[in-house]
Structure 1
Amino acid sequence: MSALPLLRAASLILALAAVALGPAEAAGTLRIGYQRSSTLIALLRQDGSLEKALAPQGVAVSWHEFTSGLPIMEALNTGSIDVSADVADTVPIFAQAAQARITYLAQEAASPSAQAILVPGDSPLKSVADLKGRKIAVTKGAGSHYLLLAALAGEGLPFRSIVPAYLSPADGRTALASGSVEAWVAWDPFLSAALEQSGARILRDGTGLSLYKRYYLAADDYAARHPEILAVIVVRLGETGAWVKANPDAAAARLAELWKLDPGIIRKANERRSYRVERVTRGDLAEQQTIADAFRAEGLLPRAVDASALAVWEPPTR
């Protein structure tokens, strides 16, 4: 489903929600987990518009920052948060392998060039094949993890042909700059920042290797009890994503205040991201299964995963 029909349907739901939910039933605090790279959630948090949209239902919002997607999934599964901001396509797969009880809420359409394998500007490495035997920084379970796996597979190389250094984005960039790793797999805005500030160059981006969709998820129990609240979130995400693409300079300026990055870097990062928020369908999970199978084949998942087995949020009809 395209973003526009989704927004129209969800907007109708918002009109019904005030009647469908009484204050006592909906009252409480919505707990949202996010990462620094969670662009749309960062903007909603900055301007308070999500709180305003939820106020008629008696819902407050609390914000909880995490360094990567997997800890967010753990927090969802343990009931520490209710909803996650966007996480890379790999993250729900690893969470599912850990038997997390989570629901797909929405997705951002594919942005394959928003993640890439980087090397120093003066590196002798010229192709993915040259990574064999090299130490590479990557964030475990992130979309960049699958990009690296898929890039190696494209050259007939198993994952064990390289030496992974599992690091956070900040530590990965430091490791690349210090020479303690020979390549680093990054995603935006970290990717654009490294290209602009440290002279790194792209060895291979995700084009033709990974769609790199980003998913919003909710705890199963929360999704079952509060579909109308989730409808509000989906509407606001969709509107914010459309605003970012229509107002690149203004969006970059606002994010620069939050991320302490040059607006020009952020604008370049935002050009690589689709920010088109869409409903998740079962058909959309085909690449999720491909990702799960690839990790399992390399021994990087503890068990086989049926990507279609997770719940998918459906907009309420009442």
Structure 2
Amino acid sequence: MGQIKIVTDSTADLSLEQIQRYNIKVVPITINFGSDSYADGVDLDADQFYKKLTTEKVLPKTSQPSPEMFRQAYDEIAAEGDAVLSIHISGKLSGTLNSAELASKIAKAEVIPIDTKTASQGIGLIVLVAAEAVKRGLPRDEVIALTNKSIPHTFSVFAVDTLEYLQRNGRIGKAASLLGSLLQIRPILYADPEGMVAPYDKVRGRSQIIPSLVAAALKNVSPDQPVNLSVVHSWNKEGAGELLKELQKHYEIVDLHSGMVGPAIGAHIGPGAVGLMIQPSFDSLQKS
């Protein structure tokens, strides 16, 4: 029986520590500012990206990795007899999963593409479930089953400063219903069960954003169990810190990540966003 390898894409917003801890292969999304192209996390980090975002006259666009990029990644890390779990951003939000599926048909190893139906560290949390299962030596079928089980148990919710970036980049999804009605209203959005961006709540004024996000977490993931938590932001470190502080009052957190949303997701949500991704801890998920 061969080894199990983990591949994802840069929309997972994994930290370098998370990538190195589990030896995860990350295939970068391409960020385009006009005629200039950058590999997400390779040629352009989060700080550099947000500085460009606030100074460039053109909005960035993203393009998915090609099937050939995925094939090269699979063949680089896996041999015949190995299995690759290729875990990606929602197929409703990007063509990345489709590229991975096409590449899986021509790779040397067996490749199992997985649609997380979410984005950013929502993907990241699911990737880490798979990676932890591999690290603990679970059989392949159990690794796959637990990874798939974690998908509906992972909740992602966030607040954006403006819907402009989602609208212009065609990722606004069901949140389009909020356009033209905002004024001082702040939209709270989430990754719905279909894997689309959808309205979760509307609050009046910035002061209500953190309470709404915390309430959303408590409603969807019980505080009566240990959890894995990611708090993310796009140049809104103060908001992320406040959100984390409030969540720590309610949850026993086993695995915590707090950091910036990378360029691939930042291109669609813009600066000023804050959000959270939460799921039961690995042991809680395995027992449930």
Would you tell me which structure has more strand in proportion to its own residues?
2
Larger radius of gyration: 1
Q: Choose between structure 1 and 2: higher helix proportion.
A: 1
Greater relative contact order, per chain length (Cα 8 Å cut-off, separation 6+): 1
TM-score of the aligned structures, taking structure 1 as reference length: 0.30
TM (normalized to structure 2)?
A: 0.32
